[in-house]
Amino acid sequence: MRLKISIAFLIDVFIIAVACVIIQFVCINKQVGTILAASVMMTGILCKDTFKNQSIGKKLMGVYVESTTHKNITIRQHLIRNLILCLWPLEGVLIVLTKDRRLGDYLAQTVHREGKYMVKNQDKKSIILYWIVTFLISSIILSFILRDFTHPLLL
């Protein structure tokens, strides 16, 4: 199953990267394009696995994420799981050592399962709100970080 999860993650990263490249090409103002692309990237990573506890890659690979109590994952659990991805070197070491779960899975008390996920009354409004808030917060943070950034590619 570890191979399926790894391939699913690569599919997700590829989709996010393609979206970011398209945004960069479409935007006339390069600085705005960079902020939007980076916001889409952050939102895609932080909000993956929110719809039916699967990302696009996980759906294609037949894998889903579930709470260790066999319930739907809460927004808090999604956020914890995906924020820990920022510590990817540590995550990689833990996966090699345990061959079971990522650090984010341990902290969020989640596990991966194979098969088709049966939705258990998932609140779609709160998930959509989570995506919107994540995008807005990441856009605001990135606009402050990049506002004085004068790299030649952004001019």
Q: Could you give the number of structural domains in the chain? A: 1
Look at residue 79 and tell me if it is in a domain.
Answer: yes
Query: Residue 136 has which token pair?
Result: 């807005």
**pTM for the full predicted model:** 0.81
pLDDT for residue 99 is more than 80: no
Look at residue 154 and tell me if it is in a domain.
Answer: no
- Predicted local confidence at residue 153, as pLDDT: 52
Q: What is the mean pLDDT of the chain?
A: 83
Look at residue 155 and tell me if it is in a domain.
Answer: no
Q: Give the span between the Cα atoms of 143 and 34, in whole angstroms.
A: 9
Look at residue 101 and tell me if it is in a domain.
Answer: yes
- Predicted local confidence at residue 40, as pLDDT: 92
- Predicted local confidence at residue 152, as pLDDT: 54
Range of the domain at 130: 2-147
Per the CB < 8 A criterion, the answer to whether 89 and 96 are in contact is no
- Predicted local confidence at residue 119, as pLDDT: 64
CA angle 88, 65, 45 (to 5 degrees): 40
- Predicted local confidence at residue 14, as pLDDT: 94
DSSP label at 109?
A: T
